[in-house]
Structure 1
Amino acid sequence: MTIALYDREQVDRLLDYPGCIAAMRDAMRSLSEAGKTQPLRQVIRVSDMATMGLMPGNLPAIGRFGAKLLSIAKDPARPGRSRHVGVVVAFSAETGALECIADADAVTAIRTACATAAATDALARHDARVLAVFGTGLQAETHIRALSHVRDIERVLLWGRSFDTATTLAARLSAEFSVAVEAVADGRRAAEQADIICTVSGSPEPILLGDWVRPGTHVNLVGSSFLGPVEVDSALVAAGRYIADYRPGVLAQAAELAVARDAGIVTDDHVVGEIGEVHTGIIAGRENPGQITIYKSLGHIVQDLAAAAYVHARAISESSAA
């Protein structure tokens, strides 16, 4: 049996942003349309240093099923940070054959940002031009790249817990992009000027407060993917039209929602639906220009399977053309 293997370098080359954004939009639409219960993410504590993550599921629309397997370990070189190592394993639903294995860290970095971009395209105001990013890791970089494909971003405000790190990243991205990327020491200042905000930090405590967010802003909550880290306060959760990537997952594992719910500020009904339902037109996204909209991204295996299938198809196409 021949198994196609795609390492980080190959994923970075083959998983282009426009194609991945389209694939994420289709994947989330298919997830909602299927109405089929998918297993929730499993997180297994292995030791004080390491955790195992398992995300199984299937995407009937493209005839794939599989899982993402991750090792999440503390990174001694970056105190307070973690490193992710793992694979996305995709099988053919038609034959049951193992089709491909792809580097999970590379896939996750791009597909998460592209899913956010697809959601932003559906929820943000069309005239949104200023982007604020809270966080300075890899997801900050990929989100800036991805969102530039769905809105004419004229300015990026970058906040991080380390202003020096934010300054270094802003300088590098400003040199790479035609848009100005500015490091900001004051998170409130960044939020008050933004049309779109992405939190990609995984902070254990709120770094973005509801009082800072202007009417009409779209907010992507991305950095916390399990019960624990809380990137925004309950006031912001309550203030926004709250859209989930996958509703059962968000109800069970979205930390910011859980805190607001436990405080009696919101109920499960605050989650008005899934982004796939917005993509299909089943529910409205933004209802008026002054509304705050929120997209909660936990990440879902259908995104990984769609990304892996896209990478595999491009590789086959390149091979056939050679």
Structure 2
Amino acid sequence: MAEPPVIIWEHEVGRLLQYRDLIPRLEDALGKFSKRDSAEVIQPVRTAVPMQKHNGFMGLMPTYMENDGVLTTKFVCFYKREHGSSLPAVQATVVLLDPEYGNVKAVMDGEVITAMRTAAVSAISAKLLMRPGAEVLAILGTGKQALSHYNVFTEMFSFKEVRVWSRTRQGVEKFLHSVGGFAKGCGSVEEAVRGADVIVTVTGSTEPVLCGQWVKPGAHVAAVGACRPDWRELDNVLMREAVVYADSREGAMAESGDIILSGAEVFAELGDVINGTKAAHREKTTVFKSLGMGVEDAVSAKLVFDQWTAQAHKL
């Protein structure tokens, strides 16, 4: 008889999930995904259910990793909120199932998983694509994703300067307070990104906020927001001049307004670079377009559950 499912709440997920454990597992999963071996990873493009009344949509992200014995799905709701709204822009839940029996093994909060695995993959993109000796990091946006990106980028790399921009001064001040001071607030996007070696865009914008003319040649951009076909963060100049990478080529061509509306070509997936089948053009301006993938949630959920199980057995 199957064990009843466990519920793992947000604070427990945050305690159990660590970047040092997560990043190598994500690198392995990205490589497996890009090999297109059907026995390794089965992950359809995210299904989107519009919720027009609430100005949002629900995404359904199922994944099966046969050789790893992992079956999951994530339910994630995205909303386009008005500036100053106290309502959350993203809410997520991950369900882990037993692939042999089909029963639910665990239901866990997906907020920490979403924030951490997204930031970790952006950091992997920087590890693969940014120029050696990068000194200046710019972050556009000050929400949960901005904080998770700050945490992993400052943990993995030794930037001498971190610049932050938000549409509101209050957003910048709150962010600076939360990170303890090792960052500089900027009054405009141009001020934040001029001369930056790495730029992270984690905004809720539906129109371009980052212009290619402001971007230093050879910089690396990790573009995380704008997850719908008609949403943008990056302008045409940047998209057409940069070498563009994605987590999933299929997902980017179906969901990324930055790619669809600019007509930019996706040169490679991160997994192709990890597998050595595509080059990492560090000498050129690069854009990593992140849409987020179910395989990233699957790896993260398994890690959380394994850690939770190991600790439960010690009690």
- TM-score (norm. length: structure 2): 0.91
- Once residues 77 and 208 of structure 1 are traced to their aligned partners in structure 2, the CA distance between those partners, rounded to angstroms, is 19
- Unpaired runs of 5+ residues, structure 2, are none
Match for residue 271 of structure 2 among 251, 265, 276: 276
User: Which residue does 1:105 correspond to in 2?
Assistant: 111
- Tell me, yes or no, if the aligned pair for 1:184 and 1:190 is still in contact at 8 Å: yes
User: Which residue does 1:302 correspond to in 2?
Assistant: 295
**2:227 aligned partner, one-letter code:** S
- Once residues 170 and 185 of structure 2 are traced to their aligned partners in structure 1, the CA distance between those partners, rounded to angstroms, is 9
C-alpha offsets along residues 268-322 of structure 1, whole Å, 9 cap, x if unaligned? xx2111101111211111253xx11111100000000100000011112222334
User: Which residue does 2:156 correspond to in 1?
Assistant: 150
Q: Cα RMSD between the aligned structures? A: 2.0
- Once residues 74 and 216 of structure 1 are traced to their aligned partners in structure 2, the CA distance between those partners, rounded to angstroms, is 32
Q: What is the SS of the residue equivalent to 2:210? A: coil
Rate the CA distance shift 1:95–1:248 in 2: closer, same or farther, 3 A.
Answer: same
Counting only pairs closer than 5 Å after superposition, residues 151-230 of structure 1 correspond to structure 2 as 151-175=157-181, 180-230=182-232
TM-superposed CA distance for 1:66, in Å, is 2.1
- Once residues 314 and 195 of structure 2 are traced to their aligned partners in structure 1, the CA distance between those partners, rounded to angstroms, is 48
User: Which residue does 1:245 correspond to in 2?
Assistant: 247
- Once residues 244 and 108 of structure 2 are traced to their aligned partners in structure 1, the CA distance between those partners, rounded to angstroms, is 32
C-alpha offsets along residues 9-61 of structure 1, whole Å, 9 cap, x if unaligned? 11111111221222221221111123446311122123411532211222234
TM-superposed CA distance for 1:64, in Å, is 1.0
- Once residues 127 and 6 of structure 1 are traced to their aligned partners in structure 2, the CA distance between those partners, rounded to angstroms, is 40
**2:221 aligned partner, one-letter code:** V
- Name the % identity: 29
Match for residue 72 of structure 2 among 52, 66, 75: 66
- Once residues 240 and 167 of structure 2 are traced to their aligned partners in structure 1, the CA distance between those partners, rounded to angstroms, is 25
Rate the CA distance shift 1:68–1:47 in 2: closer, same or farther, 3 A.
Answer: same
Rate the CA distance shift 1:305–1:231 in 2: closer, same or farther, 3 A.
Answer: same
**1:271 aligned partner, one-letter code:** V
- Once residues 42 and 182 of structure 1 are traced to their aligned partners in structure 2, the CA distance between those partners, rounded to angstroms, is 38
- Tell me, yes or no, if the aligned pair for 1:74 and 1:81 is still in contact at 8 Å: no
User: Which residue does 1:42 correspond to in 2?
Assistant: 47
How many positions carry a matched residue from both structures? 309
User: Which residue does 1:315 correspond to in 2?
Assistant: 308
- Once residues 30 and 89 of structure 2 are traced to their aligned partners in structure 1, the CA distance between those partners, rounded to angstroms, is 27
- Once residues 97 and 259 of structure 1 are traced to their aligned partners in structure 2, the CA distance between those partners, rounded to angstroms, is 41
**Residue 127 (structure 1) aligned with residue 133 (structure 2):** yes
Q: What is the SS of the residue equivalent to 1:225? A: coil
- Once residues 7 and 197 of structure 1 are traced to their aligned partners in structure 2, the CA distance between those partners, rounded to angstroms, is 32
Rate the CA distance shift 1:307–1:80 in 2: closer, same or farther, 3 A.
Answer: same
- Once residues 185 and 280 of structure 1 are traced to their aligned partners in structure 2, the CA distance between those partners, rounded to angstroms, is 40
- Once residues 229 and 120 of structure 2 are traced to their aligned partners in structure 1, the CA distance between those partners, rounded to angstroms, is 23
- Once residues 24 and 78 of structure 2 are traced to their aligned partners in structure 1, the CA distance between those partners, rounded to angstroms, is 28
C-alpha offsets along residues 218-239 of structure 1, whole Å, 9 cap, x if unaligned? 1001011121220010110111
**2:307 aligned partner, one-letter code:** R
- Once residues 76 and 234 of structure 1 are traced to their aligned partners in structure 2, the CA distance between those partners, rounded to angstroms, is 25
- Once residues 95 and 153 of structure 1 are traced to their aligned partners in structure 2, the CA distance between those partners, rounded to angstroms, is 48
- TM-score (norm. length: structure 1): 0.90
Rate the CA distance shift 1:229–1:80 in 2: closer, same or farther, 3 A.
Answer: farther
- Once residues 291 and 92 of structure 2 are traced to their aligned partners in structure 1, the CA distance between those partners, rounded to angstroms, is 17
**1:71 aligned partner, one-letter code:** C
Q: What is the SS of the residue equivalent to 2:312? A: helix
Deviating more after overlay: 40-49 vs 247-256: 40-49
**2:169 aligned partner, one-letter code:** F
Q: What is the SS of the residue equivalent to 2:179? A: helix
- Once residues 71 and 4 of structure 2 are traced to their aligned partners in structure 1, the CA distance between those partners, rounded to angstroms, is 18
- Tell me, yes or no, if the aligned pair for 1:7 and 1:102 is still in contact at 8 Å: yes
